[in-house]
Amino acid sequence: MTPELDPVIHAQARLRVVATLNTLADGDQITFPGLKDLLGMTAGNLSVHLSKLEEAGYVEIVKTHRGRTPVTYVALTHRGRAAFEGYTTAIRELLDTARAPASEET
């Protein structure tokens, strides 16, 4: 009866990345340095996690230019949003089933 937890999201760092991106409005993108500051991660570390999320199709990475400087924007895809929603639902279900028998005993 244990709900499956999405292994892509079920890791501290990636969960924080996805939770942060999920608070942005649908259709919004955040710069890579902006996201890095919000998470307090190193650029290298964040890159690794973002490419894993991109492989899963959860995150969209857009490389563009502002004037001559290259800028990278990151956003959650619809699939990523759905996966995060599914993950939080699964976590809540797990917590509910864990609590239910304990409350019956008392």
Partner 1 sequence: MNNDDQALSPEEMLRLIEQQETETVSRLTPNPVPHYLAWGVAWFVGFGALFLRNGLSGRPYVEIPLGVALALLFGLMTLAMLISAMTMWQLGSPVRGASQQRGTMYGFSWFFGFSAMWVIGVRFGQSLPGPEQSLLWSSLSMMVVAILYMAGGAVWLTRWLFVFGAVVAVLNTIGTAAGPGWHALLISVGAGGGSIVTGLMLHRRLRR
Counting contacts by CB under 8 A, is residue 73 touching partner 1?
Answer: yes
SS3 state of residue 5? coil
Q: Which of 54, 60, 61, 88 binds partner 1 (CB under 8 A)?
A: 88
Counting contacts by CB under 8 A, is residue 10 touching partner 1?
Answer: yes
Q: Which of 51, 55, 85, 98 binds partner 1 (CB under 8 A)?
A: 98
Q: Provide φ and ψ at 8, rounded to 5°.
A: -65, -40
Counting contacts by CB under 8 A, is residue 51 touching partner 1?
Answer: no
CB nearer to partner 1: give 79 or 92: 92
Planar angle of CA 84, 61, 24, nearest 5 degrees: 45
Encoded tokens for 37: 């500051």
8: enclosing H helix or E strand? none
Counting contacts by CB under 8 A, is residue 19 touching partner 1?
Answer: yes
Counting contacts by CB under 8 A, is residue 47 touching partner 1?
Answer: no
Q: Are 21 and 76 in contact (CB under 8 A)?
A: yes
Counting contacts by CB under 8 A, is residue 25 touching partner 1?
Answer: yes
